[in-house]
Amino acid sequence: MWTILWTIFWSMRISVSDAKAQLTDLVRRAEAGDEVILTRHGQAAVRLVPIKAKPTSDERARLLADFRRSVKDKATQGPEAARSADFLYGDDGMPA
């Protein structure tokens, strides 16, 4: 519901032909967080959104370490690889 209201009241819709003359301003608005939708024949065609900056190698390493810490206690020990498919076979070694 909130997304629908946001789109109706706070998005900017402009035709592609009109956008050509205002592209710099539209890009600035999108970078500032405004939703800018370009339309073609009255139908939404494209949404301008800012590109998020790529994390540095230090940031990636920190995120990966945080992730590993968060899942460390959640991981459960599974069967060892040599026995992982035993449930597929009966005691006689034939497929179950």
List the 43-48 sheet strands across, edge first.
11-15, 35-40, 43-48
CA atoms within 13 A on the CB side of 37: 15
Residue at 66 is within a domain: no
State the residue range of the domain holding 28. 2-48
Residue at 26 is within a domain: yes
Q: Residue range 42-71: average pLDDT?
A: 90
Residue at 39 is within a domain: yes
Q: How far is CA 37 from CA 1, 41, 61, in A?
A: 19, 13, 36
| pLDDT tens figures, 70-88 | 888 787 777 677 777 778 8
| pLDDT tens figures, 4-46 | 444 455 678 999 999 999 999 999 998 888 889 999 999 999 9
In the predicted structure, residue 2 carries a pLDDT above the cut 70 = no
**Number of structural domains found in the chain:** 1
pLDDT, position 9: 56
